[in-house]
Amino acid sequence: MSNANVYPPSAEFSAQAYVPSLEAYRALYDKAKENPEEFWGALAREQLHWFEPFDQVFEWNPPFVKWFSGGKTNASYNCLDRHLSTARKNKVAILWEGEPGDQRMISYQELHRLVCRFANVLKARGLQAGDRAIIYMPMVPELPVAMLACARLGITHSVVFGGFSAEALKARIQDLEAQIVITADGGWRRGREIRLKDAVDEALRECPSVRDCIVYKRTGGHVQMQAGRDFWWHELEESASETCPATPLDSEHPLFVLYTSGTTGKPKGILHTTAGYLLQTTMTMKWVFDLKEEDTYWCTADIGWVTGHSYIVYGPLSAGATTLMYEGAPDYPAFDRFWRIVEKYRVNIFYTSPTAIRALLRQGDHWPNQHDLSSLRLLGSVGEPINPAAWEWYHRVIGKGRCPIVDTWWQTETGAILIAPMPGAVPLKPGSGTLPMPGILPEIVDLDGKPVGENKEGFLVIQRPWPSMLRTIWRDPQRYKEQYWGKVSGVYFTGDAARRDSDGYYWILGRVDDVMNVSGHRLSTMEVESALVRHPAVAEAAVVGKPHEITGQAVCCFVTLKKGDYDHEALGKELRQWVAHEIGAFARPEEIRFTEALPKTRSGKIMRRLLREIVTSHTVTGDVTTLEDMGVITKLAAQHDED
């Protein structure tokens, strides 16, 4: 191994792991590479329930792929029904803790009942396969119940993160032309109620496709119910039967759409389908998380993001796991909430983000040290590169030097983890996602598609389609084609820069496009810019990500104003609030800088690269020959030196 800081798996961990050695990993990897049809075909038959067998493993008509054509299956059936005839029937499926401290333990059998009842509610409202449901809920068990009820009937769901504003919610409902919105009165966050139904009311003023809105009562806060449109979940459910067979659906039936930020102001609806998605999320639960029957597994993400879809709901439930769900904030009521939960439920596998790790690290070791964390056996990280200092702390203070850390690289589009260590097999290097999963053929190339070679920085691309790959962008196949398959010919373009070291390990270096990563959440610079220019005082805006100690990047905005007299301090505050209102609180800019002009090319394009340099290094070193007015740049850079 070429790096001094290498952590091989312990003999003890390897001995019990699914994939116990580097040789075993290589054998699996080579098998998948040489004969993907046989590899994935055998896994699909063995790991999933089929109502009707598939007749083809995959059909690749670049850039469109189909997996397991001809087969009929159902994600909800695979996550629930098939466990009921096994010892899992009374096993806890969802272990839930609300922020106020309330708790629920829902067995597979009980979850199945809840899902069937709610599916019957949806049926009674006239919904059927092919319809679309928007789910805008707090982190309560009824959120996965709603997802699995949709999946049971073939209703495509789109979960919108509860932190998104009414504006953002409206755009998603409209793009999806959803027939129904499933929501709650609100949820708890840092002791305060996040009012969800109010946001739905605001959004629904301009959403003619929506016929019904079902409201789950979580907080008991006052909500406005519109007669004929709004219904209480508990009232509709009262008379619903507990029997609801899962509909056999095509392998390629659309399971969900999840919106994510692209390089334009308009979010992309990433479409995932049924069988391939479920197979790969199930397999990675075993390969990466080494999930065992007796494990208590906790992923701290919100189900509103892909991590929650794949690794709180579909992957864990399909694999028959006990999946823990926590409603609230990591620092409420104190900085030891995560560690308190780990101790209380004897969590074995813990999966979180570098942002959370850095934020908790800063509060000092006494918080985790107050708790018995000895149940932990494996730790995970996702969302952005984890810096070695945070990695070492996570390893030493949380894992007590005993637990492997799986740094998992993937994207909303990839559906499942593509690059990550198999913890019993692969020696770890802090900061590297290590090696690709079976069936994944990454490469690091230049813009002509030529491999750049060892230790050189280039674009990370994936050479072959994989089962949980996105199928298209909702109602925009052209954008799908251009965005993912049009940048470098013939391969999937990830939008990340990376390098590969002499051991074949991948090191992700960050995005190469105008996408920021704030606390592991993807945010487009254009989306924030469009929000800003909707404000009456703003003439123009340019937004860049600025390095931030805890959140990875922070939103930094350069704004020019329309003619007038402004109180810059008050306006700065107002604009930060404005963006939070237009997109969601997580997008609130850290900084608004007022400027007289923005640096532009002769053709009028804003040179974000220069702005990025200003906020990163406070100087400009790159090529500025296309810059129209160099004066603008020197002034901006100088301005920074003044503050």
Q: Looking at 318, 355, 412, 525, which residue binds ligand WT7 (CB under 6 A)? A: 412
36 interacts with ligand WT7 by CB under 6 A: no
Q: Is 469 helix (H, G, I), strand (E, B) or coil?
A: coil
DSSP letter at 585 equals G
Minimum CB distance to ligand WT7 smaller for 108 or for 410:
410
Q: Looking at 196, 210, 303, 382, which residue binds ligand WT7 (CB under 6 A)? A: 382
Give least dist CB 508 to ligand WT7, A: 4
Instruction: Compute the Cα dihedral for 584, 589, 593, 596 and give only its sign.
Output: negative
Q: Looking at 76, 307, 323, 472, which residue binds ligand WT7 (CB under 6 A)? A: 307
458 interacts with ligand WT7 by CB under 6 A: no
Q: Looking at 495, 552, 589, 599, which residue binds ligand WT7 (CB under 6 A)? A: 495
Give least dist CB 46 to ligand WT7, A: 26
Interface stretch with ligand WT7, choices 13-21, 125-133, 290-298, 489-497 (CB under 6 A): 489-497
88 interacts with ligand WT7 by CB under 6 A: no
Interface stretch with ligand WT7, choices 38-46, 64-72, 376-384, 600-608 (CB under 6 A): 376-384
519 interacts with ligand WT7 by CB under 6 A: no
Interface stretch with ligand WT7, choices 53-61, 89-97, 378-386, 583-591 (CB under 6 A): 378-386
Q: Tell me, rounded to whole angstroms, the distance of Cα 458 from its chain centroid.
A: 24
522 interacts with ligand WT7 by CB under 6 A: yes
Give least dist CB 505 to ligand WT7, A: 12
CB contact set of 610 (below 8 Å; sequence gap of 6+): 599, 620, 622, 624, 627, 633
Q: Which residues pair with 392 in a beta bridge?
A: none
208 by Cβ neighbours in 10 Å (0-12 / 13-18 / 19+) ranks as exposed
Give least dist CB 404 to ligand WT7, A: 15
Minimum CB distance to ligand WT7 smaller for 407 or for 529:
407
The span from the first CA to the last CA of the chain, in angstroms, equals 46
Mark 350-382 as b/e (b = at least 16 C-beta within 10 Å). bbbbbbbbbbbbeeeeebbeeeebeebbbbbbb
Give least dist CB 229 to ligand WT7, A: 32
Instruction: Compute the Cα dihedral for 14, 17, 23, 29 and give only its sign.
Output: negative
Site for ligand WT7 in 607-636 (CB under 6 A): none
Interface stretch with ligand WT7, choices 60-68, 377-385, 529-537, 576-584 (CB under 6 A): 377-385
Minimum CB distance to ligand WT7 smaller for 92 or for 356:
356
Give least dist CB 202 to ligand WT7, A: 25
Under a CB-based contact definition with an 8 Å cutoff, are residues 469 and 65 in contact? yes
424 interacts with ligand WT7 by CB under 6 A: no
C-alpha 187/C-alpha 217 separation (Å) is 9
Q: Which residues pair with 349 in a beta bridge?
A: 297, 378
Q: Is 323 helix (H, G, I), strand (E, B) or coil?
A: strand
Radius of gyration of the chain (CA): 24
Under a CB-based contact definition with an 8 Å cutoff, are residues 323 and 539 in contact? no
Q: Looking at 508, 554, 557, 620, which residue binds ligand WT7 (CB under 6 A)? A: 508
Give least dist CB 417 to ligand WT7, A: 8
409 interacts with ligand WT7 by CB under 6 A: yes
C-alpha 315/C-alpha 3 separation (Å) is 33
Give least dist CB 394 to ligand WT7, A: 13
492 interacts with ligand WT7 by CB under 6 A: no
Among all chains, which residue has been given the structure tokens 């059909």? 59
Cα torsion for 621, 627, 632, 635, to the nearest 10°?
A: 10
306 interacts with ligand WT7 by CB under 6 A: yes
**Which residues form the interface with ligand WT7 (CB under 6 A)?**
260, 306-307, 382-385, 407-412, 433, 494-496, 508, 511, 517, 520, 522
